[in-house]
Structures are given as C-alpha cells and as structure tokens.
Amino acid sequence: MIERTSYTPGSLPQPPLPVNRKSSSRRRRNQALIFIIAFLVAATAWKLFERSGSELPFSPEINVPPVTELHPIVAAKQQELIAQTSEAGITILITDGFRSTEEQNGLYEQGRSTDGPVVTQVRGGHSYHNYGLAIDFALRTKDGEVVWDMKYDGNGNSKADWLEVVAIAKKLGFSWGGDWEGFKDYPHLQMDFGYSIRELLRGKRPPME
C-alpha cells in the first residue's frame, strides 16, 4: 500500500525564478555609460566655466583699483609688434586696446538687441580687453585702406600679411584668438599672464612689470 502525503498548494518550496543574465549585464553597462557621459559633460562644463567665468558677476572679491588702460607690458609689446611688422613691410593698425565694461556690454548687444553683426560672445568683465590685456589689429594697405583681409599680401612675399603679423605677435608672447575653439576672433591678440577670467573677476591682477 502506497502511503500518500497530503499537502496544500504552495506549501512545497518553489524553484528560483530564472535570472536573465544578459538583461542584467546590459543594465549595468547602460548605467556605467550614463555615468561616464554625465562625468564628461560635467568636466567640459567646468572647463568652460573656468575659462570664461561667464556665470560670475562682475564684482571683485577684493578691492583693486579699476583698470583704465593697457597693462604696461602689453602696451610695450604692442609697440614692438608695430615696429617689427613695419620692418617686414607690413603696416598694422591697432583698432582696440583697453575696453571698459560699458563698452564691452555695448559690443555684446550688437547683433542681438542692436543692429550689426555679432562681434563678441562675452559681456562686460568677461573679456581680457576689460583688464588691459588684449589688443585687436587690422592691416593698412599701401593706399591707406584699413582691411581685415587674411589673404592680403601687401609686402609681396607670397605670404599672407595677417598670418605674418600673428607669427610675430606669438613670438612676442601674445596668444591669438584665431586659435580658439568654437568662436574665432581673428583680430584678437592677448597676454593673459596665466590668469583666467574667473581669477580676474575675483580681483587678481598680473604684476605690472
């Protein structure tokens, strides 16, 4: 005689549910990918923030005298640039040097709230011009015309005068806006002395000599 054991449904141990290992692995990879993307976006945003200081108000954290003219070293290098380009048969015109915060804001509005093309991406306090650390230049032709023609060869040596000026400027210690990523500022030359806009906004200034 066979002994029967009575049981109620669900009283016996149930086998574990099958694990979808592929789905779990895919989920982990997706989570890791999301983390990496978020990290890269945050790092890029921080670099842009450090470079431009565009989110910082124009209010130095320490009391410093207002900048009203070119930094003396920049002014001296500007004169050297004019002299050396002249020796190369190129005449340049410095079209801009120190620029006040108000002037910067006026330029920023050009192409936005006022007529004209967009010429700058930064508001007052966020340009090296506002600290006397940058200049802009143009070329003057033999006829006296002021041009921004980057292919113009006025000295007839089969080289673009514009790029000759840039090469001389770099040897003097300037950096060129034409090398920037994104928005290019081809007439722009600056000497930042290693100071970021963020630091300048906080009141830090390069030595005067």
Mind listing the pLDDT tens digit for each residue in 52-109? 444 455 555 567 889 999 999 999 999 999 999 999 999 999 999 999 999 999 999 9
Q: What is the mean pLDDT of residues 20-43?
A: 71
Confidence at 2, pLDDT banded by 50, 70, 90: very low
CA–CA distance, 162 with 167 (Å, rounded to integer): 9
pLDDT at 18: 58
pLDDT at 7: 41
pLDDT tens digits, residue range 135-171? 999 999 999 999 999 999 999 999 999 999 999 999 9
What are 140's strand-pairing partners?
Answer: 91, 146
pLDDT tens digits, residue range 166-184? 999 999 999 999 999 988 9
Specify whether the CB–CB gap between 89 and 132 falls below 8 A.
no
pLDDT at 181: 92
43, pLDDT greater than 70: no
The beta-carbon contacts of 42-49 under 8 Å, at least 24 apart in sequence, are 49/198
Q: What is the mean pLDDT of residues 6-29?
A: 58
Query: What are the start-end ranges of the H helices in 20-150?
Result: 21-52, 72-87, 101-109
pLDDT at 112: 95
- Which residue in this structure is represented by tokens 């694990």? 19
Rounded to two decimals, the pTM is 0.71
47, pLDDT greater than 60: no
